[in-house]
Amino acid sequence: MNYNNILSTTENGITTITINRPSKLNALNRDTIQELHDAFYEANQSIDTKVIIVTGSGEKAFVAGADISEFADFNVEEGGKLAAKGQELLFDFVENLSTPAIAAVNGFALGGGLELAMACHFRVASSNAKMGLPEVSLGVIPGYGGTQRLPQLVGKGRAMEMVMTAGMIDANQALNYGLVNHVVEQEELLPLAEKIANKIMRNSSVAIAEAIAAVNANYKDGVDGYQAEIVAFGNCFGTEDFIEGTTAFLEKRKADFPGR
Ligand code: COA
């Protein structure tokens, strides 16, 4: 598919989605959100994609937020709809993908940018990365899940401070908070994400999809995560990957998972 605001390439099982509006620090406007949805959807459906990496183009920004110029004149109803649509189309959608999604944060990840990174299954960052939720400095609050996912990742007190101060933390602070898993120099960022992706790809994609659903169940209101884990665990026993994984172990050879 051809996109105007993003790039999507697939090689050796990895789809890399690059938000490509460097002159606007990759800010998320309506079209970019729709294109990201389409690219994530397509990658998740494709048997050629085992892991998705999302990053920003240029050396300065992952994503500097939602596009402020698009919502500056919105009223109450339009504001609510903007958040609802964005959450459904992109942020909740990414969190619930059955294909692992890694955010490679290569610079500013602010507002909707940090929210996108947090919707991914985990994050790695370059040493120049800066992260924050600056919305209250604009008279608004995070609307793409930031008030929910940031406390899940860093704890309530740290999240409250970040949201209230609208300040930025640097990559090392983010590492210290557990917001990102690894920090490396910028030129090592995509190679690191790819190295982790390759480790993931050695395992059963079918089991990984069940694991993502089970982990996410912990964060869903009214869902018993332990019960969800029991169901997901049971599901694995009906898969060809399970037969191959256990057989390969007993035969002392490497598993060659048929996958989905
Ligand atoms: N929405 C729309 N445009 C944005 C943007 C956003 N969230 N973030 C950056 N841009 C645009 C700027 O308007 C500028 O466009 P222009 O060249 O046409 O004037 C361009 O990207 C470059 O940004 P600039 O501010 O000149 O870069 P900088 O290095 O001086 O500052 C930031 C970088 C990230 C500190 C600054 O751009 C910023 O504060 N952005 C907004 C962050 C934010 O509040 N995000 C949350 C939105 S809810």
Label residue 165 exposed, middle or buried (CB < 10 Å: 0-12, 13-18, 19+): middle
Is residue 143 included in any domain, yes or no? Answer: yes
Residue that terminates a domain, selected from 160, 179, 201: 201
State what percent of residues in the chain have pLDDT above 90: 98
In a domain, 258, yes or no: no
Q: Whose CA is nearest to atom 1 of ligand 1?
A: 67
Q: Are 139 and 216 found together in one domain? A: no
DSSP state of 144: S
Q: What is the mean pLDDT of the chain?
A: 97
Of 201, 216, 231, the residue at which a domain comes to its end is 201
Q: Are 197 and 237 within one domain?
A: no
Q: Which atom of ligand 1 is nearest to the CA of 60?
A: 29
Residues 56 and 180 reside in one and the same domain:
yes
| pLDDT for the residue 260 | 76
Q: What is the pTM of this model?
A: 0.98
Mutation choice for ligand 1 from 24, 91, 105, CB with most ligand atoms inside 8 A:
24
User: Whose alpha carbon is nearest atom 30 of ligand 1?
Assistant: 25
Q: Looking at the domain assignment, is residue 178 inside a domain? A: yes
Look at residue 91 and tell me if it is in a domain: yes
**Is residue 152 located within the same domain as residue 238?**
no
Q: Which residues of 195-224 are buried (b: 16+ CB within 10 A; e: fewer)?
A: ebbeebbebbbbbbbbbbbbebbeeeeeee
Please tell me the residue having the least CA distance from ligand 1 atom 40.
64
Note whether residue 138 is domain-resident. yes
As for how many domains the chain has, the answer is: 2
What pLDDT shows up at residue 6? 98
Q: How far is the CA of 202 from the centre of ligand 1 (A)?
A: 40
DSSP 92-142: HHHHT-SS-EEEEE-SEEETHHHHHHHHSSEEEEETT-EEE-GGGGGT---
* Distance from residue 153's CA to the centre of ligand 1 (Å): 25
Residues 145-163, mean pLDDT to the nearest whole number: 98
Write out pLDDT tens, residues 110-137.
999 999 999 999 999 999 999 999 999 9
- Is residue 185 part of the annotated active site? The answer reads no
Q: Are residues 134 and 239 in the same domain?
A: no
**C-alpha–C-alpha distance, residues 30 and 32, integer Å:** 6
Inside any domain, residue 1: no
89 shares its domain with 210: no
Report yes or no on 259 lying in a domain: no
Active-site residue, from 95, 115, 194, 210 = 115
Same domain, 158 and 217: no
Q: Are residues 153 and 229 in the same domain?
A: no
Nearest Cα to Cα of residue 177 among 162, 163, 164, 195: 162
Q: What pLDDT, on the 0 to 100 scale, is given for residue 191?
A: 98
Residue nearest to atom 41 of ligand 1 (CA): 64
Residue 245 has pLDDT above 90, yes or no: yes
Closest CA to 194 of 16, 57, 6, 7: 16
Residues 10-46 have pLDDT tens digits of 999 999 999 999 999 999 999 999 999 999 999 999 9
**Known catalytic residue at 251:** no
Report the residue among 19, 20, 25, 116 best suited for mutation to probe ligand 1: largest number of ligand atoms under 8 A from its CB: 25
Instruction: Tell which phi-psi region holds residue 198, choosing left (phi > 0), alpha (psi between -120 and 50) or beta.
Output: alpha
Tell me how far apart the alpha carbons of residues 10 and 12 are, in angstroms, rounded to a whole number.
7
Q: List pLDDT tens digits, range 47-102.
A: 999 999 999 999 999 999 999 999 999 999 999 999 999 999 999 999 999 999 99
Give residue 259's pLDDT band: very low, low, confident or very high (50, 70, 90).
confident
Residue 4: per-residue pLDDT: 97
Could you tell me if 71 and 54 lie in one domain?
yes
Whether residue 223 is found in the same domain as residue 191: no
- Tell whether 64 and 132 lie within a shared domain: yes
Give the residue numbers spanning the domain of 139. Answer: 6-201
What would the pLDDT profile of 223-244 be if each residue is shown by its tens digit?
Answer: 999 999 999 999 999 999 999 9
Q: What is the pLDDT of residue 212?
A: 98
Confidence of residue 1 (pLDDT cuts 50, 70, 90): confident
**Residue 257 in domain:** no
CATH number, domain with residue 190: 3.90.226.10
- For residues 221 and 124, state if they share a domain: no
Q: Is the pLDDT of residue 157 over 80?
A: yes
